[in-house]
């Protein structure tokens, strides 16, 4: 295992080496999540880098990122484990062909080799060699939330056919939510919490430079400024950091950004028809600085 | 400022938590313990560390962040220089005692006895008498009767196909269950099991005008939403969303579980209705789409807007936001109590602007009217002729949409 950063400042540096610029607050929250063995709940607008934070942390810790994307109706067989039924059937057939009575071998069917590991089980087994990312937990049902809460307090589960699986050590757990519904108080209380804001212009410019080194400095700054202004226009879908990076890449070779150039490339950052209208009407205002 | 030993961390965390609670933030004991441990973990924590550690451990709602900043400043007692200000709140200055100007006070709300004392026979006749009485013309006693009747109203919404499957007579082979059965017959596949897609109810989104003139009706419509929540269909119960608006919009869904729905609506009205009492439907719908569509609340939902359509803002904005809502929702119904009058023509500026995007316009100003709303909501048939329901503006248009559902093609 790689050396784990000893304090938030060290974590900021380690993340930065992997081109993720976290502020002190996010780094402190992640640091504490690891030290206290508590899950970290991240909220923030779409595109502020919630998922990326988990991905980069996994890289820093030299751990595997185990991601569980939540959705309505998420169930045990998708989140935890499932049995490989086609292979079990084949096995049955093979037993039959060899003249055995399959009913005598029922326990064989529920052997480790027929078990399909899903994200939660995988993270549990890997322990602290995994970063478990439970993405968009608000999309899952209440029941799943309750189950997750239980899992996150015991870090063990029972598979009836196999027995109990206990995590050798606690994986780092991060949850993200878009706040489509309120999470249960119990879950919130168990978690550390951090709200990720849109980055400041300076930080966003730095992010662009880190992620797209080919982009000249002044373009990065300019694009970050423009995006910051776009976010104040009250768009339906304000651009996220990923859009900023894309846009900077597109504009990397443009010497002087004029109204025409801006309008031509707008589709990279603004992805909604009504929003486009709003931005087109405000182009001159945007460029005047 | 005073962090030498563990006990200091403890005192510090407990003190901060106490002040946060006084300011209206919910902080659990587990969170306080986490905060103590966090401070112990961060050796030689400076003010910035304390700020972030406290924030990560004690706050779990972005709405509380402003309060946290204020309380933290007051608690530390010194000017706080933070690397990144989390929220700008220029109106507040540092040394204010956080306890004194706490967050919104909890609405005390009188207790609401669930007196289910109606006798079946009495209800039937009462119901007839009450059926055609306008909600805003009722006295308290009648209102209570109506509440009881509304509580029994059956509310259903159209269903959609789910991604999940359940046991069915046809469809795909259900391998797990087939295997189970095969085991019982020594591995011989006599009996195969099938699975087919399930259906689930669509989300039901109620958008309530709570401005002064609508008070009586909003109250009844809220009961309607509560009835939807109480339905036997647990999945529908979880999918009822209520928003209230006047000049602004607020979400009422969580208040639905409050003991007293009337108190909830009054609190919402205080929050979203300005003194001039004007209704800004356009900007409220816009806010609905802007804030809640990205979170998937409106996608494929059945939206019921209850308002008299007297728009104070720009009708063009209303039309634009309705067009937007149209693209998210499966179906939009507009309940307008003014439509209960036979002479009603939907020519007010607001109503006229919204009409092209609405699947049906109903009165819903009486119990009979709400029954019809429930009927139509369920994709149901024409209401019984016994009920002299004021005709909807264009029944033909609505019937066409009820019959051939334009969005539910085979997938």
Q: In the A/B pair of chains, how many CB contacts fall below 8 A?
A: 122
Residues B42 and B76 reside in one and the same domain = yes
User: Do B33 and B84 fall into the same domain?
Assistant: yes
- 8 Å CB contact of A236 and B289: yes
Same domain, B395 and B316: yes
Instruction: Tell whether B28 lies on the interface with A, counting CB pairs under 8 A.
Output: yes
Average pLDDT for B41-51: 82
Instruction: Say yes or no: B190 and B247 in one domain.
Output: no
Looking at B88, B105, B122, the residue that finishes a domain is: B105
Q: Residues 189-218, chain B: which have Cβ within 8 Å of A?
A: none
- How much is the mean pLDDT over chain B? 74
Number of separate domains in chain B: 3
Residue B129: inside a domain:
no
Closest approach of chain A CAs to the CA of B322, in angstroms? Answer: 13
The set of residues, in sequence order, having a beta carbon less than 8 Å from that of A245 and lying 6+ positions away, is: A207, A208, A211, A212
The residue among B114 and B58 whose pLDDT is bigger is: B58
Backbone angles phi and psi of B342, in degrees to 5: -60, -30
What are the domain boundaries of chain A?
8-80+118-196, 81-112, 201-284
C-alpha to C-alpha distance for B207 and B151, rounded to whole angstroms: 19
pTM for this prediction: 0.66
Return residues 192-251 of A near B (CB < 8 Å): 192-195, 197, 200, 234, 236-237
Distance from CA of A43 to the nearest CA of B (A): 8
Where does the pLDDT of residue B399 fall: very low under 50, low under 70, confident under 90, or very high at 90 and above?
very low
Q: Specify if B156 maps to a domain.
A: no
Which architecture, in CATH terms, is A8-80+118-196?
3-Layer(aba) Sandwich (3.40)
Question: B246-292 pLDDT, tens per residue?
Answer: 888 888 877 676 667 777 777 777 777 776 567 889 999 999 998 88
State the nearest Cα–Cα gap between B171 and chain A, in angstroms.
18
CATH assignment at residue B237: 3.40.50.410
Q: Do B295 and A178 touch (CB under 8 A)?
A: yes
Q: 296-325 in B: which are within 8 Å (CB) of A?
A: 296-297, 320, 324
Q: Which residue of B has its CA nearest to A94?
A: B187
Of A114, A86, A103, nearest in space to B175 by CA: A86
**Of A236, A221, A241, the residue nearest A279 (C-alpha):** A236
The reported pLDDT for the residue numbered A182 is 74
A positions 45-64 inside 8 Å of B (CB): 46
Query: Are the Cβ atoms of A237 and B238 closer than 8 angstroms?
Result: no
In residues, how long is chain B? 411
- With respect to residue B342, please indicate whether it lies within any of the assigned structural domains: yes
Q: Does residue B230 share a domain with residue B334?
A: yes
Helix (H) or strand (E) holding B257: none
Nearest C-alpha neighbor of B95 from the set B79, B116, B115: B79
Q: B354 is in which domain, residue-wise? A: 202-403
Most confident segment among B78-82, B198-202, B312-316: B312-316
Res. B381 pLDDT band, cuts 50 70 90: very low
Q: Is residue A84 less than 8 Å (CB to CB) from chain B?
A: no
Q: Are residues B48 and A24, on separate chains, in Cβ contact within 8 Å?
A: yes
* pLDDT (mean) for B326-351: 83
Both B374 and B331 in one domain: the answer is yes
| Interface probe with B: pick from A187, A193, A199, most Cβ of B within 10 Å | A193
**Residues B188 and B314 reside in one and the same domain:** no
Is the domain of B358 the same as that of B377? yes
Interface of B with A in 39-68 (CB under 8 A): 41-43, 48-49, 52-53, 55-57, 59-62, 65
Last residue of a domain, one of B89, B105, B121: B105
Instruction: Please measure the distance between the N-terminal and C-terminal CA atoms of chain A and give it in whole angstroms.
Output: 49
Tokens of B124: 């039937």
The Cα diameter of chain A in Å comes to 84
Helix (H, G, I), strand (E, B) or coil at B158: coil
Last residue of a domain, one of B177, B200, B223: B200
Residues in chain B closer than 8 A to A138 (CB atoms) = 295
Which residue has better confidence, B329 or B136? Answer: B329
Q: Residue B148 falls within a domain, yes or no?
A: no
Digit-coded pLDDT (tens) for B4-23: 556 777 788 899 999 999 88
Residues of A in contact with B238 (CB under 8 A): 142
pLDDT confidence tier of residue B57, bands split at 50, 70 and 90 = very high
CA-based nearest distance A216→chain B, Å: 26
The Cα B316–Cα B282 span in angstroms is: 8
Q: A189 and B59: CB-CB below 8 Å? A: no
All residues at 6 or more sequence positions from A30 whose CB lies less than 8 Å from its CB, including other chains: A11, A22, A40, A53, A57, A174
Structure tokens at B357: 């995007």
Angle in degrees, CA A92, A94, A95, rounded to 5: 65
Query: Which residues of A fall within a CB distance of 8 Å from B182?
Result: 89, 92
Q: Where are the alpha helices (DSSP H) in chain A?
A: 8-17, 24-36, 50-60, 76-79, 85-97, 106-109, 119-126, 142-154, 185-190, 201-211, 217-230, 241-251, 259-265, 273-281, 283-287
Q: Is residue B398 part of a domain?
A: yes
CB contact under 8 A, A103 and B183: yes
Is B225 a domain residue? yes
Chain A CB within 8 Å of residue B32 CB = no
Same domain, B208 and B76: no
Searching chain A, which residue's CA lies closest to the CA of residue B166? A73
Question: Are residues A28 and B53, on separate chains, in Cβ contact within 8 Å?
Answer: yes
Residue B389 and residue B288 share a domain: yes
Q: Give the pLDDT band (50/70/90) at residue B313.
A: confident
B152 touches chain A (CB under 8 A): no
pLDDT value of position B82:
57
Residues of chain B found within 8 Å of residue A31, distances taken between Cβ atoms: 41-42
Rounded to an integer, what distance in angstroms lies between the CA atom of residue A56 and that of residue A47? 15
> Do A36 and B293 make contact, defined as CB atoms within 8 angstroms?
no
Answer yes or no: do B100 and B194 share one domain.
no
In a domain? residue B120: no
Q: Does A184 touch chain B (CB under 8 A)?
A: no
Residue A15: closest CA among A54, A41, A66, A63: A54
Q: Give, for all 289 residues of chain A, the pLDDT tens digit.
A: 456 888 899 999 999 999 899 989 999 999 999 999 999 999 988 888 899 999 999 999 999 999 999 987 788 888 999 888 888 888 878 887 887 776 677 777 788 889 999 999 999 999 999 999 999 998 888 778 888 988 988 898 888 888 899 999 999 999 999 877 778 888 888 999 999 989 999 999 999 999 999 999 888 999 999 999 999 988 888 899 999 999 999 888 777 777 788 888 889 999 888 888 889 888 888 887 6
Strand spans (E) along B105-150: none
Say yes or no for a CB contact (<8 Å) between B290 and A236.
yes
Asked, for residue B118, whether it belongs to a domain, the answer is: no
Secondary structure (DSSP) of B97-111: -TTTT-SSPPP----
Residues B39 and B16 in one domain: yes
Q: Which long-range contacts (CB under 8 A, 24 or more apart) does A145-150 make?
A: A145/A183, A145/A184, A145/A187, A146/A184, A148/A187, A149/A184, A149/A186, A149/A187, A149/A190
């Amino acid at each position: 295992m790689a050396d784990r950063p000893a304090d938030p400042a060290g974590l900021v540096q380690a993340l930065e080496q992997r081109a993720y610029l976290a502020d002190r607050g996010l780094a402190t929250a992640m640091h504490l999540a690891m030290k206290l063995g508590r899950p970290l709940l991240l909220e923030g607008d779409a595109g502020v880098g919630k998922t990326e934070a988990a991905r980069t942390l996994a890289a820093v810790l030299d751990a595997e990122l185990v991601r569980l994307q939540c959705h309505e109706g998420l169930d045990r067989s998708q989140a935890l484990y499932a049995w490989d039924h086609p292979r079990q059937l084949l096995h049955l057939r093979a037993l039959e062909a060899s003249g055995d009575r399959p009913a005598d071998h029922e326990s064989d069917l529920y052997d480790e080799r027929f078990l399909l590991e899903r994200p939660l089980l995988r993270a549990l087994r890997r322990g602290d060699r995994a970063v478990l990312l439970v993405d968009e937990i608000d999309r899952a049902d209440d029941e799943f939330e309750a189950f997750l809460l239980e899992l996150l307090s015991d870090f063990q589960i029972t598979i009836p056919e196999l027995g109990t699986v206990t995590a050798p050590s606690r994986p780092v757990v991060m949850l993200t939510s878009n706040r489509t519904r309120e999470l249960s108080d119990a879950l919130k209380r168990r978690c550390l919490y951090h709200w990720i804001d849109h980055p400041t212009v300076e930080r966003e410019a730095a992010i662009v430079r880190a992620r797209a080194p080919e982009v000249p400095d002044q373009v990065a700054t300019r694009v970050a400024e423009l995006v910051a202004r776009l976010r104040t226009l009250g768009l339906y879908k304000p651009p996220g950091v990923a859009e900023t990076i894309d846009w900077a890449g597109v504009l990397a070779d443009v010497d002087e950004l004029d109204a025409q150039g801006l309008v031509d490339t707008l589709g990279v950052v603004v992805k909604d028809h009504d929003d486009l209208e709003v931005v087109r009407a405000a182009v001159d205002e945007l460029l005047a600085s | 400022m005073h962090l030498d030993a563990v006990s200091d961390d403890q005192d510090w965390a407990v003190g901060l938590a106490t002040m946060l609670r006084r300011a209206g933030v919910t902080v659990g004991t587990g969170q306080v313990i986490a905060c103590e441990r966090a401070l112990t973990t961060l050796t030689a924590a400076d003010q910035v560390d304390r700020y972030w550690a406290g924030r990560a451990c004690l706050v779990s709602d972005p709405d509380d962040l402003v309060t946290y900043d204020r309380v933290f400043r007051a608690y530390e007692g010194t000017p706080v220089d933070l690397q990144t200000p989390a929220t700008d709140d220029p109106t507040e200055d540092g040394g204010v005692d956080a306890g004194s100007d706490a967050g919104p006070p909890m609405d005390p709300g009188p207790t609401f006895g669930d007196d289910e004392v109606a006798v079946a026979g009495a209800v039937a006749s009462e119901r007839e008498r009450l059926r055609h009485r306008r909600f805003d013309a009722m006295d308290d006693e009648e209102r209570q009767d109506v509440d009881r009747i509304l509580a029994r109203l059956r509310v259903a919404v159209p269903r959609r196909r789910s991604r999940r499957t359940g046991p069915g007579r046809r469809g795909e082979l259900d391998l797990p269950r087939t295997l189970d059965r095969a085991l019982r017959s020594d591995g011989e596949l006599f009996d195969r099991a099938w699975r087919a897609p399930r259906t689930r109810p669509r989300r039901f989104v109620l958008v309530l005008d709570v401005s002064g003139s609508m008070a009586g009706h909003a109250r009844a419509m809220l009961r309607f939403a509560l009835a939807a929540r109480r339905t036997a269909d647990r999945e529908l119960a979880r999918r009822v969303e209520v928003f209230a608006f006047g000049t602004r919009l607020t979400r009422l869904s969580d208040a639905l579980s409050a003991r007293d729905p009337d108190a909830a609506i009054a609190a919402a009205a205080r929050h979203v209705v300005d003194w001039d009492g004007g209704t800004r439907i356009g900007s409220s719908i816009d806010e609905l789409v802007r804030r809640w569509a990205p979170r998937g609340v409106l996608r494929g939902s059945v939206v019921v807007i209850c308002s008299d359509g007297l728009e104070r803002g720009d009708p063009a904005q209303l039309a634009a936001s309705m067009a937007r809502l149209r693209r998210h929702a499966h179906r939009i119904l507009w309940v307008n109590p003014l439509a209960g009058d036979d002479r009603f023509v939907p020519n007010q500026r607001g109503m006229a602007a919204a009409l092209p995007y609405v699947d049906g316009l109903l009165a819903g100003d009486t119990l009979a009217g709400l029954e019809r709303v429930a009927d139509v909501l369920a994709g149901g048939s024409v209401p019984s002729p016994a009920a002299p329901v004021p005709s909807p503006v264009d029944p033909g248009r609505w019937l066409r949409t009820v019959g051939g559902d334009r969005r539910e093609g085979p997938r």
